[in-house]
Amino acid sequence: MELREDAVSIGGLELALLRPPDAEALIDENEFEQDEFLPYWAELWPAGRALAEALPERLDGLRVVELGCGLGLPSLVAAARGALVLATDWAADALELLRRNAERNGLALETALARWDEPEAVGAGFDLVLAADVLYERRDVQQLGELLPRLATEVLLAEPGRPTAQAFFREAEASWQVEEVADRVYRLTTRPSAPSSRAAPGGRA
C-alpha cells in the first residue's frame, strides 16, 4: 500500500502519521458488493481531529475503547495521555497501519478486528468509549445504540451532522444524558435508571 507521512499537531502533541494518499484508490468493488464496505478508514476526517482535541488532558490508567477507529487519531492521543487503549475497526488494514503509527510515535495501544454486530469481539467494562463520525448508515443507529451500554457508562462521540445521527440522538436520549462539550463533540453518560456496563462480566474478548 502506498503511504505518505503527515506531521499532525493535535492536542499539544506532534504526531508523525502514515496514511494512504488517496482513499478512493483503495475501493474494492467485490468488498462493496459483499458488505457495502468502503475504505472510510483511510481518510483523516475532521471529526477525528475534533474528538482528539476534546479529550481530557489526563487519562492515566483509564480503559478506553475507540469504535471505528480508522487512522486512530483519538486513540493515539488517548494513549499519549496515559490511557489503556483498545482501538477497533472492521478494516484489518486500518488496524495494521494504526499499530505502525503507534510504534513510530513511541505509543502503546492494543487493536481488535471487530464489527458492531459481534460485540463479543470488543468486550466490556471500559471507562470511556470514543467514536468519531461513525453513523453513516441507518443500520449503524441500531447497532451502535445496542453496543454502547455494553461497553461503558461514558461516551465521547464526534458527529459532523449526518442525517442518521439525528435518529441516533433521539433514541439515545431515553438511556443517555447528552451534552455538547465542544463543537460537534458530544458527551453521553448513562442515566441513573439505565443498566451499567460495569456489572458485565469479563474484559476484552
Q: Is residue 170 part of a domain?
A: yes
Alpha-helical regions (H) of 64-205: 73-80, 92-104, 138-151, 163-172
Residue 202 has pLDDT above 70, yes or no: no
**Which residues does residue 17 pair with via DSSP β-bridges, in sequence order?**
6
- For position 80, which CATH number holds? 3.40.50.150
- Domain of residue 186 covers 45-199
Q: Does residue 14 lie within any of the structural domains?
A: no
Phi, psi of 14 (to 5 degrees): -115, 115
Rounded to 10 deg, the angle between the 46-54 and 73-80 helix axes is 20
User: CA 190, CA 76: separation in Å to the nearest integer?
Assistant: 26
The one-letter amino acid code at 174 reads A
Task: Report if residue 25 sits inside a domain.
Answer: no
Per-residue pLDDT reduced to its tens digit, 111-121: 999 989 888 88
Looking at residue 30, its pLDDT comes to 56
> Distance between the two ends of the chain, CA-based, in angstroms?
29
Q: Which pLDDT band, with edges at 50, 70 and 90, does 199 fall under?
A: very low
> Does 133 map to a domain?
yes
Residue 167 lies in a domain: yes
28-69, pLDDT tens digit by residue?
545 444 554 455 778 889 999 999 999 999 999 999 999 999
C-alpha atoms less than 13 angstroms from C-alpha of 116 in its C-beta half-sphere: 19
Residue 53 lies in a domain: yes
